[in-house]
Structure 1
Amino acid sequence: MNGAIEPMVGRYVHVDIGGEDHRIYFEESGAGIPLVCLHTAGSDARQWRHLLSDAELTRHFRIIAFDMPWHGKSNPPESWDGEEYRLTTARYTETILAFCRALKLEKPVVMGCSIGGRIVLNLAIEQPREFRALIGLEAADFQAPWYDTSWLNRPDVHGGEVCAALVSGLIAPQSPKGPRAETLWCYKQGGPGIFKGDLYFYRVDGDLRGRIEGIDTTACPLYLLTGEYDFSCTPEDTVRTAAAIKGAHVTTMAQLGHFPMSENPAQFRTYIAPILNQIRLDQIRKHSKSDSKSDKQGVTS
């Protein structure tokens, strides 16, 4: 690997969110169907680096992973005065839509994990026709909180270490040592109070109970995948959620926890590659039917 240069390219895009300019950092790799990846609470888009460097998948997909404002290399907006950060459903949804439109992405696939998986469900509720497909990792309409968020932003506690300690048990025991440590390192580097603010969405504002039943999977396919070792969003939570959504695809991933794309990328690939291939084949069939219909109309004319 000495001297090897990975294929992803990082850059910034200016995105209007709520009438204010945000300088958002993103990395991308590949060409083809746009696939936007959303990181977990309190972390950043480095979680997706293995997918971004996958030579086979990037032959057919333009994979894009961005840092949410306040996360990673995306700073808070210039107007921020230090007030408590709290992520809301409306703000999260607007950020994703604004990012996709800023990059002029045509019907992208969106895949999110944890809070990203929860917001994918809201995208399916509110904006299904904006997307080619939606993939929720560790996603459910609601989970009862099992943690005390008051520990996540205190002057007498190292916030990063507490955040990493909190989520460490969510990683499957089979996950390799290196990826495990890398997953937790991202948490140790998070901004003060950001994990806590993301969890406001996860535990309070993002409760989707009573709303998911209206999701139309004929307008946009929905895939839900959860690791068998996840006790934050359990497989039972995801199965319960999928049962309320006609046409939703649900999978429990063996030997994986709450961070499948970063804690054990090789194992995660065995689950996500077939789904992405299915999305690609569906796109080919759709174009083929459209071309066939156009040819018949031409003959009739």
Structure 2
Amino acid sequence: MSGFVEPIVGRYVHVEIDGEINRIYFEENGTGIPLVCLHTAGSDARQWRHLLVDEEFTKRFRIIAFDMPWHGKSNPPDSQYGNEYRLTTATYTAIIRAFCSALNLDRPVVMGCSIGGRIVLNLAISHASEFRALIGLEAADFQQPWYDTAWLNRSDVHGGEVCAALVSGLIAPNGPVVARDETLWGYKQGGPGIFKGDLYFYRVDGDLRGRVGQIDVRQCPLYLLTGEYDFSCTPEDTLRTAASIPGAKATIMERLGHFPMSENPAQFRAYIAPVLQDILNGQNT
């Protein structure tokens, strides 16, 4: 028998966030410019596995994807077991900055999707000098909620099944069936109340309307890419946001929905490759 070993390496880093040590799991591959990838609400860093093994990208980028505390292989902080999880803008921002600092990353690129795309905008507003470039997938300053979060953490409902059902319609039609199934499998495995807690940031605390005009892309380039089939963060939401940020580069991705990196990796690659090349070109000017 024979097997294939992927080049991805997984480790833990101990990081202090909000006064408490968090044991954060991350995976990485490649050398060069650090590229930190942020997963969507209620899921984990497995969404980035295809990017992590892309041989062309990993020649020039050190690609790193981590599970936020409470997600995937990153447990809650020791004092928080039994408490309600609720993600805030301040804590989310602190997690990213502390993680990058703990790994001694020199002005990394940060790419986030959905809630990760929203927090990228906050990084651009408040901490742009710390980053080489910022990429928001399915990102906008605000989206009007279209769902009832009360269903996401009930004793009479299977949490994983209902979370996956909620997001299933956000995946573009006619994509690879296996990739669709894998994307939804991640949602079926989320901890109780975690998707709901992430959506507190997305629906309430992370409203950036009226603030994105502060972003100066001369300090840190900003790229916004949204799938044409996304009805959570619609193309109109992203284009409206980009119009408020002089110099922001916005792209609507054909045949993609809310989870481009996992639902159709090959199609997503066609759109992210020029962005990464643009960032590389910017290092040589």
**Residue 148 (structure 1) aligned with residue 148 (structure 2):** yes
- Superposition deviation, residue 90 in structure 1: 0.3
Large movers: runs of 4+ above 6 Å: none
Q: 1:175: Cα distance to partner?
A: 1.3
Count of aligned pairs between the two proteins: 285
Residue 214 of structure 1 and its aligned partner are, at CA, apart by 0.7
1:280 aligns with 280
Q: Secondary structure at the match of 2:129?
A: helix
RMSD across aligned positions (CA): 0.9
Q: What is the aligned partner in structure 2 of residue 55 from structure 1?
A: 55
1:267 matched to 2:267? The reply is: yes
* Residue 126 of structure 2 is aligned to residue 126 of structure 1: yes
Shift of 1:19: 1.5
Structure 2 CA distance for aligned equivalents of residues 24 and 109 of structure 1: 19
Q: Is the counterpart of residue 185 in structure 1 residue 194 in structure 2?
A: no
Q: Check if 1:172 corresponds to 2:172.
A: yes
- Report whether the alignment pairs 1:100 with 2:118: no
- Residues in 1 aligned to 2:110 and 2:50: alpha-carbon distance in whole angstroms: 17
The answer as to 2:215 corresponding to 1:195 is no
Offset at residue 238 of structure 1 (A): 0.1
TM-score normalised over the length of structure 1: 0.94
1:135 positional shift: 0.1
Letter in 2 for 1:150: A
Cα displacement (A) at 1:182: 0.1
Letter in 2 for 1:175: G
Q: Distance in 1 between matches of 2:84 and 2:77?
A: 13
- Per the TM alignment, residue 108 of structure 1 is displaced from its structure 2 partner at its CA by 0.1
Aligned to 1:117: 117
2-side partners of 1:83 and 1:4: how far apart? 41
**Deviation sequence 1:147-187 (CA, Å, 0-9, x none):** 00000000000000000000000000021000000000000
Query: Which residue is 2:214 aligned to?
Result: 214
Q: Which amino acid letter does the alignment assign opposite residue 134 of structure 2?
A: L
Structure 2 residue 266 is the aligned partner of structure 1 residue 244: no
Q: How far, CA to CA, are the matches of 2:270 and 2:165 in structure 1? A: 28
Aligned equivalents of 2:208, 2:218: Cα separation in 1:
20
* Inter-partner Cα distance in structure 2 for 1:154 and 1:109: 38
Cα distance between partner residues in 2 of 1:16 and 1:32: 26
Unpaired segments ≥5 residues, structure 1: 286-301
- 2:6 equivalent to 1:6: yes
Cα distance in 2, alignment partners of residues 273 and 221 from structure 1 = 16
Distance 1:45 1:133 in 2: 20
- Return the alpha-carbon distance in structure 2 between the equivalents of residues 7 and 39 of structure 1: 20
Structure 1 residue 32 displacement after superposition: 0.1
Deviation of residue 80 (structure 1)? 1.1
* CA distance in 1: counterparts of 2:48 and 2:158, whole angstroms: 26
Pairing 1:232–2:232 present: yes
Question: 8 Å contact 1:174–1:256 — kept in the other structure?
Answer: no
Map 1:279-298; keep pairs closer than 5 Å: 279-285=279-285
SS in 2 for 1:142: coil
Question: Which residue pairs with 1:89 in the alignment?
Answer: 89
Output the amino acid matched with 2:215: I
Alpha-carbon distance in structure 2 between the residues aligned to 1:215 and 1:279 = 18
Residue-by-residue CA offset, 1:35-69 (whole Å, 9 max, x unaligned): 00000000000000000000000000000000000
Deviation at 1:18, TM superposition (A): 1.1
1:17 and 2:17 aligned: yes
Match of 2:46 in 1: 46
Task: For 2:225, give the aligned amino acid.
Answer: L
Describe the SS at the equivalent of 1:36. strand
Identity %: 77
After superposition, give the CA deviation of every residue in 1:214-241 in whole Å (9 maximum; x if it has no partner). 1000000000000000000000000000
